[in-house]
């Protein structure tokens, strides 16, 4: 009835520079420009976004030997990015097209400035030990302007310092283990900080005053190994990782993502396994499996949008699954690169997304799905003369045109006793890419 759709036009232009100042010092820099024109029919409105996204970074790498078999490498850098632009909301016509009534006219900007420093140390016999320590400072600022009601204009900044510590040990050049611990900060996204003025609600603030940054501490351990065998099976490799992340201020959507607030805390645990097998006949297999156990550890909420009949004043969702996170995901890909057709490569893959809950009460379950994809392209540039090469590919996603639920509104509206939650996944679609490479 609303002809819900999304039309995106995105361009990207980037420049990367690298310079070796000396045997011990290297310098790199990157700049980019990323204009976007986005139109969509969504939730009874026609939305028109015009955005520009610009930024860059600079990094200095310097060798810092300490003598006595201890080597070091210092990394110091800064980055900056800015996205801004106009947003226009119109009514929808009965045909689902853009109407003539302008419902909202605003601009929203976000900028991120960061500084980071890290030191990598290697020591021990054959430099088998590696220790990395570092920190990053972020200053992220939102700037919202309303051209209909300027009294809503607002600006808010989020700042934090996050540390990092990692240790690895190499048994051999093909087998290593590692452990790492790091802090994290994730500020609310633009649609989370900007409360929706749905049916006249939440027109007091342009930036949600209830949200604070998500702060986390992650511990991860893992191992990686490669076997070079020869004959038909040329090599086999695997990597295994276990992680736990403790999160404060987990951001929670409700009313189908119109509004957001924070739960007290959550614990995210999981395991990841990856396997790669390559043969001398031009065949290779890649497989990956992820298991997630994400739970709210402290989550009390008082709201007319949540069932408080069992807990009195508050609904208590402590111990429930975090919304939107499947317990299992997996992928499998077969690459075929016949010697007679090199550098042409054929890839056939399958992706599996497990079921997950769409609501904090864990009553609305999104079913699992799997889709197959196929791609034909080059695995290395084809020469177009002495100094230029070309890469190209064509990919067919959802090869068998399967129907599935691709995403869901979290903590959705309930209309007539049914959750209005589900969005269809992409039908069969084709992606074509061509890139030129300087040689």
Residue 9: HSE in the Cβ half-sphere, 13 Å Cα cutoff? 5
Which pLDDT value is given to residue 195? 59
Q: What are 292's strand-pairing partners?
A: 270
Q: Verify cis geometry, omega within 30 degrees of 0, for the bond prior to 403.
A: no
Q: How far apart are CA 302 and CA 323, in angstroms?
A: 18
Contact 431, 398 (CB under 8 A): no
Strand (E) or helix (H) holding 190? helix 190-193
Decide the pairing of beta strands 405-415 and 365-366. Answer: unpaired
pLDDT (tens, 9 = 90+) of the chain, 439 residues, equals 777 888 999 999 999 999 999 989 999 999 999 999 999 988 788 999 999 999 999 999 999 888 778 889 999 999 999 999 999 999 988 888 888 999 889 898 999 999 999 999 998 878 899 999 999 999 989 898 989 888 888 888 888 899 999 999 999 989 999 999 998 888 777 667 665 555 555 566 667 776 778 889 999 999 999 998 878 888 999 999 999 999 998 888 777 677 777 778 999 999 999 999 999 888 999 999 999 999 999 988 776 556 655 556 778 889 999 999 999 999 999 999 888 788 899 999 999 999 999 998 899 999 999 999 999 999 888 888 888 889 999 999 999 999 999 988 888 888 888 888 888 999 999 999 999 888 7
Q: How far apart are CA 49 and CA 39, in angstroms?
A: 6
Give the Cα-Cα-Cα angle 183, 187, 188 (nearest 5 degrees): 145
Which pLDDT value is given to residue 256? 67
Decide the pairing of beta strands 328-336 and 388-397. Answer: unpaired
Torsion sign over Cα 148, 409, 273, 345: negative
Contact 147, 105 (CB under 8 A): yes
What are residue 213's phi and psi, to 5 degrees? -60, 145
Q: How far apart are CA 323 and CA 109, in angstroms?
A: 28
Question: Exposed/middle/buried for 218, CB within 10 Å: 0-12, 13-18, 19+?
Answer: middle
DSSP state of 67: B
What are residue 125's phi and psi, to 5 degrees? -60, 125
Q: How far apart are CA 146 and CA 359, in angstroms?
A: 32
The DSSP line for 230-281 is -SSEEEEEEEEEEEEEEEEEEEEEETTTTEEEEEEEEEEEEEEEEEEEEETT
Q: How far apart are CA 42 and CA 409, in angstroms?
A: 12
Let me know how long the chain is: 439
Closest among 411, 396, 415 to 360, alpha carbons compared? 411
Q: How far apart are CA 281 and CA 278, in angstroms?
A: 9
> Could you tell me how many helices (H) and strands (E) the chain has, helices first?
1, 25
Q: Write down the residue that tokens 């749905």 correspond to.
A: 198
Q: Which residues contact 342 (CB under 8 A, 6 or more apart)?
A: 282, 379
Q: How far apart are CA 342 and CA 338, in angstroms?
A: 6
């Amino acid at each position: 009835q609303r002809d819900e759709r999304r039309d995106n036009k995105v361009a990207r232009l980037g420049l990367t520079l690298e310079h070796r100042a000396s045997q011990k010092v290297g310098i790199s820099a990157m700049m980019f420009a990323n204009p976007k024109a986005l139109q969509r029919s969504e939730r009874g409105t026609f939305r028109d976004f015009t955005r520009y996204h610009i930024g860059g970074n600079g990094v200095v790498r310097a060798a810092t030997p300490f003598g006595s078999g201890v080597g070091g490498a210092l990394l110091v850098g800064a980055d900056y990015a800015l996205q801004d632009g106009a947003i226009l909301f119109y009514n929808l016509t009965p045909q689902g097209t853009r109407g003539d009534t302008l419902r909202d006219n605003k601009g929203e900007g976000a900028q991120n400035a960061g500084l980071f420093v890290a030191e990598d140390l290697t020591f021990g016999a054959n430099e088998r030990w590696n220790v990395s320590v570092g920190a990053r400072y972020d200053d992220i600022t939102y700037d919202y302007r309303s051209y209909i009601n300027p009294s809503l204009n607002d600006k808010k900044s989020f700042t934090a310092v996050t540390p990092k510590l990692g240790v690895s040990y190499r048994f051999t050049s093909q087998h290593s283990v590692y452990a790492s611990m790091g802090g994290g900060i994730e500020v609310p996204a633009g649609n989370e900080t900007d409360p929706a003025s749905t049916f006249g609600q939440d027109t007091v603030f342009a930036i949600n005053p209830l949200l604070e940054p998500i702060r986390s501490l992650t511990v991860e351990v893992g191992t990686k190994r490669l076997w070079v065998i020869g004959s038909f099976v040329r090599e086999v490799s695997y990597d295994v990782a276990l992680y736990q992340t403790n999160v404060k201020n987990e951001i929670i959507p409700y009313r189908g993502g119109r509004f957001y607030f924070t739960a007290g805390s959550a614990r995210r645990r999981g395991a990841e396994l990856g396997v790669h097998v390559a043969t001398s006949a031009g065949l290779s297999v890649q497989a990956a499996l992820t298991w997630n156990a994400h739970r709210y550890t402290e989550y009390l909420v008082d709201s007319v949008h949540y069932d408080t009949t069992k807990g009195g004043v508050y609904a208590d969702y402590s111990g429930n699954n975090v919304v939107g996170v499947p317990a299992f995901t997996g992928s499998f890909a077969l690459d075929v690169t016949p010697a007679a057709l090199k550098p042409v490569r054929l890839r056939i893959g399958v992706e599996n997304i497990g079921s997950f809950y769409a609501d904090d009460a864990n009553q609305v379950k999104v079913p699992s799905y799997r889709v197959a994809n196929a791609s034909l392209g080059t695995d290395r540039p084809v020469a177009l003369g002495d100094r230029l090469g070309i890469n190209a590919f064509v990919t067919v996603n959802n090869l068998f045109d399967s129907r599935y639920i691709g995403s869901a509104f979290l903590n959705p509206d309930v209309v007539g006793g049914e959750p209005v939650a589900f969005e269809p996944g992409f039908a069969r679609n084709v992606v074509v890419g061509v890139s030129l490479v300087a040689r």
